[in-house]
Copies of this chain bind each other. A is one copy, B any other.
Amino acid sequence: MVATAISPLAPAAFPDLPAIAGVKLHTATLGIRYKGRPDVLMAELEPGTQVAGVFTTSTTASAAVRWGREALKGGTARAFFVNAGNSVAFTGKAGEKFVADKVEAVSKALGCAKTEIFTASTGVIGEPTTANRITDALGDLLANEAGWLDAAKAIMTTDTFPKGASATATINGKTVTIAGIAKGSGMIEPNMATMLSFVFTDAALPHNVLQAILADCNNRSFNAITVDSDTSTSDTLLVAATGKAGNDAISDVNDPELAAFKAAFEDVLRDLAHQIVRDGEGASKFITVKVTGAVNEKEAKTAAKAIANSPLVKTAIAGEDANWGRIVMAVGKCGVTADPNKLSVAIGGITLAKNGERVADYDEGPVEAHIKGQYIDIDADLGFGDGAATVWTCDLTHGYISINADYRS
């Protein structure tokens, strides 16, 4: 085990998150792996709460994810039930029973359909276990109402800080509130990181509208971050809409009345996603990669991801080296339409390379100052079309190696 200090990119404090009508948080301290801190979270949702979710695209997804994909078809949720310390991923029938037993116990306790219970587990993989300890504690869990900070802590594994965000918007004149928590990217156990996020709103929105908004905003938030290009088997993002704000229901996702909500919702998702990058393993710098001039948005994102995932780009930033040649390399390797004679690259807003060659007389002072800071901006313009995308990542440092290699299982 490696002792991990709080990330230098952590926010100053956990934000003050508003209560969401129709959502009750419960936590328990069961010592599944971590001692002296909550490690089980249940977000209890009032009947009729609409749900939306996106899950890992992994073909080796965990039993919890496979259950969630099915349950989502029902469109409503009564609980998000999460444990930290054992992901029970890749444990075959034991993993399926672990999920099934929890779903059974929680649905009985709440008197609802099993498909209204969503579960997520994060922690060690490949360690079969039973759900007994968790189901036995259900009564105590329900009796213990918790706040957002405890909820955010209960889902942490080796995260170095709890993650939360909120926003408000209006729909047809009614104020609606959004609050969410997330975990991810710290990892000192010999297992894989898991990204989990749970977002709650009192807005009245049907399942299908909520799902469409989620899928869209997710593309520009959680699906636009990367720490090390590795994809967890358990990634889960669930959204609950309780309807308690009392706004008129909106059935058309393109209704202009939803614009403010969509923007606020995307703000919350992006904020949470950024907090995961800020807690990226060994991160010392937060990097924003913006690609413009691609033939379309998809190619822009491919190029931005190639830059953000390149070990050579990430180590250059760690070394405070404005190495634009590695950015050119990353664009070149990813297969998108590009031409060295049309490509330009800027770091910290200063163009370093243009039309296939170095800008001979660029001002090194501001670039040097920028690259020594904690927030690094990389801009690449491919010079072809209107496709643009932004991706966020962190640098690759000795800390990453220490966390992932400097121990033995």
Q: Which listed residue, B60, B93, B358, B409, touches A323 by the CB 8 Å rule? A: B409
- How many copies make up the complex? 2
Interface size on A, residues (CB 8 A): 73
Tell me if A408 and B192 are in contact (CB < 8 A).
no
Contacts of A335 in B (CB 8 A): 57, 59
Interface check A324, CB cutoff 8 A: yes
Residue pair A329, B230 in contact (C-beta under 8 Å): yes
The reply on A333 being an interface residue by CB < 8 A is yes
A233-B358 contact given A401-B315, A401-B398, A404-B319, CB 8 Å threshold: no
Are A192 and B325 neighbours in the complex by a CB distance under 8 Å?
yes
Residues of chain B contacted by A323 (CB below 8 angstroms): 190-191, 409
- The reply to whether the CB of A240 lies closer than 8 angstroms to some CB of chain B is no
Are A318 and B92 in touch, CB under 8 angstroms?
Answer: no
Check A356/B404 contact, CB under 8 A, given A58-B329, A230-B333, A325-B192. Answer: no
**Please, which residue of chain B has its CB at the minimum distance from the CB of A320?**
B408
Binary interface encoding of chain A residues 142-184 relative to chain B, with 1 for a CB under 8 A from any of its CBs, else 0 = 0000000000000000000000000000000000000000000
Whether the pair B329, A92 counts as a contact (CB closer than 8 A) is no
Q: Is A128 an interface residue (CB 8 A)?
A: yes
A128 touching B338, Cβ below 8 Å = no
Q: Which 8 A-B pairs have the closest CB atoms?
A: A60-B332, A92-B357, A231-B333, A58-B332, A315-B404, A319-B405, A315-B405, A318-B405
Chain A interfacial positions (CB closer than 8 Å to B) = 56-61, 89-95, 125-128, 190-192, 228-233, 309-312, 315-316, 318-326, 328-333, 335-341, 343, 353, 355-358, 395-398, 400-402, 404-409
